[in-house]
């Protein structure tokens, strides 16, 4: 291969390299800017095949799809001065490539830092005018909508960024506050339990006292009824005895004497020494008591 051929081949390679270095492709999901010696000369370059001046011009591409960034958990005070640990995230995208590049230099980390700073201030303001109940459940959706709208207005104008949504993933009490709340709740529950126990003991004492009173009254009434019945029975028995004894006095004397004999001579070793004329032996002298005067 002669010198002319080599020179021609080298020239062709140079031309190819120049052509390749002057062509660039921007994907559908991106937009670009063209810099000439570091100075912005063309912005919001759409997707497709484009040309640039090799070496002199440089192309930067930026993803315009929806991006999600988690915000670091931070503590905010409610209007009641109660601290809350808030974990949130933001969904955003580049809307104005020209403004985005001019304000951030095309640095996504810097863009996130500026965005999170605005959201942090917005969260602080929104939490500061609401109670704990409102930020946790009562006005949570309204809070997020207001915050998204406010932050979007600021960053769209300042950085060319559109904030699509800001959401709170979790709201929790700080650990120290949670422990205090737990202790306070435990104390309140213990106090309530003590009140229930005291009421129970008081009610139990009342029930026992009433039961004892009813027992005493019932026993007294039963004893009185028993005594009355016993008295009526004794009276009836006395009446029957009197009628029986009055109908045959002699038989009554015999019956009483026989009971006395039975009790007196109930044991084999019983001995009684009395005069034979004693009235106690009246019915032992004569086997026929009807003949005795």
**pLDDT single digits (tens) 53-78:** 888 889 999 999 999 999 998 999 99
Q: What pLDDT, on a 0 to 100 scale, did the predictor assign at position 26?
A: 92
Using an 8 Å Cβ cutoff, are 39 and 56 in contact?
no
Written out in words, the top-level CATH class of the domain with range 67-172 is alpha beta
Q: What percent of the chain has pLDDT over 70?
A: 83
φ, ψ for residue 18, nearest 5 deg: -65, -40
Q: Report pLDDT for 67.
A: 93
Q: What is the mean pLDDT of residues 193-216?
A: 90
User: How is the chain split into domains, by residue range?
Assistant: 10-63, 67-172, 260-291
Q: Please, which pLDDT band fits residue 207 given cuts at 50, 70 and 90?
A: very high
Mean pLDDT of 84-95: 93
pLDDT of residue 292: 44
Q: Tell me what pLDDT residue 135 has.
A: 86
CA distance linking residue 60 with residue 32, whole number of Å: 5
How far does Cα 283 stand from its chain's mean position? 99
Q: What is the mean pLDDT of the chain?
A: 83
Question: Average of pLDDT values for 42-52?
Answer: 89
Asked whether the CA dihedral 103, 107, 112, 117 is positive or negative, the reply is negative
Q: What is the pLDDT of residues 233-289, one digit of tens each?
A: 988 888 887 777 777 777 777 777 777 777 776 666 666 666 666 666 666 665 554
**Residue with more model confidence, 245 or 141:** 141
Query: What pLDDT band is residue 160 in, cutting at 50, 70 and 90?
Result: very high
Identify the pLDDT of residue 293: 44
- What pLDDT sits at residue 148? 93
Three-class SS string for the chain?
CCHHHHHHHHHHHHHHHHHHHHEEEECCCEEEEEEECCEEEEEEECCEEEECCCCCEEEEEEECCCEEEEEEEEEEECCCCCEEEEEEEEEEEECCHHHHHHHHCCCHHHHHHHHHHHHHHHHHHHHHCCCHHHHHHHCHHHHHHHHHHHHHHHHHHHHCEEEEEEEEEEEECCHHHHHHHHHHHHHHHHHHHHHHHHHHHHHHHHHHHHHHHHHHHHHHHHHHHHHHHHHHHHHHHHHHHHHHHHHCHHHHHHHHHHHHHHHHCCCCCCCCCCCCCCHHHHHHHCCCHHHCC
Does residue 175 carry a pLDDT above 80? Answer: no
- Distance, CA of 163 to CA of 151 (rounded, Å): 7
């Amino acid at each position: 291969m002669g010198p002319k051929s080599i020179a021609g081949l080298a020239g062709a390679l140079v031309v190819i390299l120049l052509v390749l270095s002057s062509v660039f492709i921007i994907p559908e999901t991106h937009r670009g800017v063209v810099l000439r010696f570091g100075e912005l000369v063309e912005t919001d370059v759409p997707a497709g095949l484009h040309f640039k001046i090799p070496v002199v011009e440089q192309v930067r591409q930026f993803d315009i799809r929806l991006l999600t960034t988690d915000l670091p958990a931070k503590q905010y005070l409610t209007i009641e001065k109660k601290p809350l640990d808030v974990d949130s995230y933001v969904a955003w995208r580049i809307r104005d490539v020209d403004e985005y590049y001019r304000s951030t230099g095309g640095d996504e980390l810097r863009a996130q830092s500026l965005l999170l700073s605005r959201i942090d201030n917005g969260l602080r303001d929104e939490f500061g005018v609401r109670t704990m109940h409102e930020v946790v459940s009562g006005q949570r959706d309204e809070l997020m909508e207001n915050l998204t709208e406010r932050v979007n207005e600021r960053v769209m104008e300042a950085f060319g960024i559109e904030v699509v949504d800001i959401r709170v993933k979790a709201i929790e009490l700080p650990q120290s506050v949670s422990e205090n709340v737990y202790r306070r709740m435990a104390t309140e529950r213990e106090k309530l339990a003590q009140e229930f126990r005291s009421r129970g003991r008081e009610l139990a004492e009342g029930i026992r006292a009433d039961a004892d009173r009813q027992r005493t009254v019932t026993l007294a009434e039963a004893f009185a009824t028993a005594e009355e019945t016993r008295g009526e029975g004794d009276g009836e028995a006395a009446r029957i005895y009197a009628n029986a004894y009055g109908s045959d006095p002699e038989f009554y004397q015999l019956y009483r004497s026989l009971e006395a004999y039975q009790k007196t001579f109930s044991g084999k070793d019983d001995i009684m020494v009395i005069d034979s004329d004693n009235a106690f032996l009246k019915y032992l002298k004569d086997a026929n008591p009807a003949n005795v005067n």
